[in-house]
Chain A
Amino acid sequence: MNFQPSILFSILLSIAAPFIGMLILGFDRKITARMQNRVGPPILQPFYDVVKLFGKSELMVKKAQILFALMFVGTLLLSTVLLCFGGDLLVIFFLISTGMIFYTLGAYSVKSGFSFIGGNRELYQMLAYEPIFMLTVFSVGLITKSFRVDQIFGLEVPLVAIIPLPLVSMMIVFLIKMQKSPFDISTAHTEIISGPMIEYSGGYLALLKIAHWYEIFLVIGIMSLFFVVPGNPVLTVVSMAAAGLAIYFVSIIIDNVTARVHWNTMLRLSAAIGITLIVVNVAIVYIVAYIAGGA
C-alpha cells in the first residue's frame, strides 16, 4: 500500500515487456544449445526471425485467421499493460484465457488436420493449466484479501514465504505456456508440425511469435510476484528478476531431461500434482492461522 510503482516505470515496463520476453527466449536457445554441446544461435535470433517473417509474403488460408491472430496479440498486450500497472490478477488471468480461446479459434478456422488436432490439444492444455492458474490466483487473493497486484507490495512478508507450494504448481503452467517438454504437446513439431500455427505465414506468424514473447513476460511476471520484498523497491526488482530467471532456468533443465508425454498423461499429472499442492498449502495456511488465532 505504501509502495506504488511510478507511472513512468509502468509505461516503460509495458513497452519493454515483449523485448524482455524476446531476450529471455534468446538466452533460452543459447543455454539449451550449450546444454546440448552446440554453439547455438545469436541471442537476438528470435528478433531476426520475426523481422524476417514480416518481410515475407503472406499466404493466408482464411481471412478469419488474421482476426484471431490480432485478437490474440491484443488480449495479451492488454493483460501485460494491466500487470505492469498493478491491475487485477483475476482480470489478467481471464484475458490470457480469452487470448488462448482466440488462438484456438484461429487453429480451428482452417481446414487442416494438423491445425485441428493442434487446436484440440490447445484446449486440453487449457484444461490442464487453467485450474492451477486460477487456484493460484485465488490463493494469492486469499492471502492479500484482494486480487490487485499492487496489494502484494503491501504485504508484510514475501508471498513465497506463505504459499510456496502454488509456485511449484505454477511450474506446470509455466512449462505448458513455454511449450517445453514434457508438456509441449500442442506445438509438437515431430507429431503435428507446430499444430495451431501450421497455416499461419509471414507477418501473422510473426504476430504469434510476438504473442509468445508477451506470454513469457506475463507468466514470469506473475510467478515472480511471489518474490516481492515489501517496502524495499531495489531489493524487489532484484529478487523478482533473479526469481524469474531462476524459474526459466529450471524450465530449461526440465525441458532437456524429459520427453514429451501424451495429453492424457499431462492432464493426470497436472491434476494430481498441481491442484493437490495448492489445496494442501492453502489448508496449511488456514490451519496455522486458526491455531494462531485460537492461541
Chain B
Amino acid sequence: MPGMLKIIFGNLFKKRATRLYPFEKRAPFENARGSMDFAHMENCIFCNLCAKNCPPKAITVDRANKRNALDPLRCIQCGVCAEACPKKVIEMRGQYNEPCYAKRTHVAAQVVKCAQTPPEQK
C-alpha cells in the first residue's frame, strides 16, 4: 500500500504517459516498419521478386502496363519485399497506415517520360 501511494501521488504531478492519439502522434523510430511504399518507381525493372517473396502475396506486378499494385489490407509490413528488391524501389516508412473505410488497392505506376498523359493513379 505505501509503495502504491508514492506512485499515485508521483503520477498526479507527472507528465501523462498517454497521448490523445489521432491529434498527437509520436515520431516513428528509426528503421520502424510502419507501412510499405513504392518510393522510387522510376528505377523499377518489374522483376517480380517482391511479389514472389511477399509472404501474404499482397503485391502484384504488371509488367505490360508498368504498374505495381499493393493490397494494403493484406500487407503485414514484414519488409521482405524491401530486402528482396534489387533496385531499392521499395521503402519501409515508419508511419503506420491510416485507418480506412473501404478496401482499396494502392497502385504505383512508372511514369514514362515520352508518354502524352501519365497513367492515372488510383
Q: Could you say which interface size class chain B belongs to?
A: 10 to 19
Q: Please provide the chain A residues from 27 to 46 with a CB less than 8 Å away from any CB of chain B in the complex.
A: 31, 34-39
Let me know if B1 is at the binding interface, CB within 8 A. yes
Distance (whole angstroms) from the CB of A213 to the closest CB of chain B: 25
Are the C-beta atoms of B5 and A36 separated by less than 8 Å?
Answer: no
Contact A37 B16 (CB under 8 A): yes
Residues in A240-263 with C-beta less than 8 Å from chain B: 253, 256-258
Give Cα A38 to B19, complex, Å: 8
Q: Which of B1, B14, B16, B19 has the most CB of A within 10 A?
A: B16
CB-based contact B1/A37 at 8 Å: no
| Chain B residues, CB < 8 A from A256 | 4, 8
| Interfacial chain A residues near B14, Cβ < 8 Å | 37
CB distance from B13 to the nearest CB of A (A): 9
Please name all residues of chain A whose beta carbon is closer than 8 Å to the beta carbon of B5 when the two chains form the complex: 253, 257
Name the one of B12, B18, B20 contacting A35, with C-beta atoms under 8 angstroms. Answer: B12
Q: In whole angstroms, what is the CA distance A256 to B20 when docked?
A: 23
**Set of chain B residues within 8 Å of A38, measured between Cβ atoms:** 16-18
A34 to B11, Cβ gap below 8 A? yes
Name the residue on A nearest B1 (C-beta).
A257
Question: Are B20 and A37 touching (Cβ within 8 A)?
Answer: no
Tell me the smallest distance from the CB of A250 to a CB of chain B, in Å: 12
User: Would you give the shortest CB distance from A31 to chain B, in whole angstroms?
Assistant: 8
The CA of A35 and the CA of B20, in the complex, are separated in Å by 17
Query: Contact residues of B with A, CB < 8 Å?
Result: 1, 4-5, 8-9, 11-12, 14, 16-20
In the assembled complex, 5 residue pairs joining A and B whose CB atoms fall closer than 8 Å, in A order, are A34-B12, A37-B11, A38-B18, A39-B16, A39-B20
